[in-house]
Structure formats: structure tokens, C-alpha cells
Structure 1
Amino acid sequence: MGNVKLEMTKEQYETLVEMVFLGTWMVNSTKLELDEQFEDVRELVLSKYKEGNLEDKVSYQEQIGVHDLDVDYESKLLDTHVEEYDEFSFWDKLVEKLAEKEMTEIYGPIDGKLTEEQMEKRLAVEEEIGRKLEETGVTKLSFEE
């Protein structure tokens, strides 16, 4: 397989560094062992930091033989992108799980594809749950025993 060469502006390279960092972080943040394919690409991209004039944001860690982002730069990326994503995905997943629970109460366990009626009902249930959560947050959420 042949090599791929990319030409990009310094601004595009900085965006690529951010994308690679965030993508690698997402893939590896929940694993005990790092995904080496992602790590290899991350290392390749970060190794060009001098060409991209990112000496203030990327450095080579000689003792462990890898390139790394500056701690403040890394924190800024995590604060900016990951926290926003986590907040959005939390509410999205909460609505999804609560809708699944309600659908099971209505129809019993659902195996396989939903019927058209069930899909319409699910969308209505998700919309209603989403509206209630927007109004009250989790303050009205309770678990009955």
C-alpha cells in the first residue's frame, strides 16, 4: 500500500492536531490498554509540530519517546469539547434509556425491530421525556420501590 501525503496550512495542521488528540482521547479514555493504531497516528501527526510552529503546544518527551500536548492546551481542549459533548450525550442517553423503560412498560420486552406504531410511540415518549427534563432537569426524577 502506498503512502498518503497531505499538504495543509499551519491552521489546518493545528486543527488536525486537535482532532487527533480528541479522537485518540475518546477511543482510549475507557480502555485499560491503548489502541496502538490510534497512538501510532497520533504520534505521527504530533511529530510534525515544529513544521506547524506548535512548539508552544506540543513537545517531545524524550524519556518516554513520545510527543505530547502541553498540559494547559490539553486541558483547554478537554474543557471546550469533551465537557460539552459529555453534557449533551448525558441528556440524550438519559432520554433514550427512560424511553426504553417506558416502551417496555407499554409493550413488554421488544425483540427486534419496532413496528411503525411503536416507532411513532417511542418518538412521542422521547419528546415528552425531553420536554419534562428541559423544564425540571433531574429534580423531579424519582425511583419508586
Structure 2
Amino acid sequence: MMEISLSRQQFEALLRVVYLGDWMVNAIRVAGSYIPEFEDLEQFLLSLGHRSGFDDVVEFEPVLSQFFLK
């Protein structure tokens, strides 16, 4: 396990970078062939943001059971 300290701005930037990285890797793939390693990391970080009070940045979609950037 690793611990890092980030400011709110740095964490928001990290969320955007991870979102864009996942999009770049998986945008050309059809549903079902996405690389789960990237999706899983994105969901983990978005859920961490949601639990940490970043409600203005992250939202949870209960129908899809996924987190998204606003």
C-alpha cells in the first residue's frame, strides 16, 4: 500500500488525467473489450473522490453502478 498527499486541485487534476487516459485507451474498443485495468483504476479513484466529499466533481450513477466526472 502507498500513501500520497495531494491538494484538492492536484486530486481533481489526477481524476481528469485518469479519465482521459482511460478514454484514450478504451475509446476505440467495443463494449466488452475494454481494458479493465484502466477502468478499475478510474472507478477506484472516482469512488475515493466521492467518499472524500468531491460531490461537485464526481457523481454516482446508481442505475449503472458507476462513478463519473461531472
Q: Output the amino acid matched with 1:49.
A: G
Matched, 1:35 2:35: yes
More helix by proportion, 1 or 2?
1
Tell me the TM-score normalized by structure 1.
0.43
More strand by proportion, 1 or 2?
2
Pair member with larger Rg? 1
Residues paired across the two proteins, number: 67
Q: Output the amino acid matched with 1:22.
A: L
Query: Which consecutive unaligned segments of at least 5 residues does structure 1 have?
Result: 71-145
Which residue number in structure 2 is paired with residue 46 of structure 1? 46
Tell me the TM-score normalized by structure 2.
0.84
RMSD: 1.3
| Aligned-pair identity (%) | 27
Which residue number in structure 1 is paired with residue 21 of structure 2? 23
Q: Relative contact order (alpha carbons < 8 A, sep ≥ 6): 1 or 2 greater?
A: 2
Query: Which consecutive unaligned segments of at least 5 residues does structure 2 have?
Result: none
Runs of 4+ aligned residues of structure 1 deviating over 6 Å after TM superposition are none
Which residue number in structure 2 is paired with residue 135 of structure 1? none
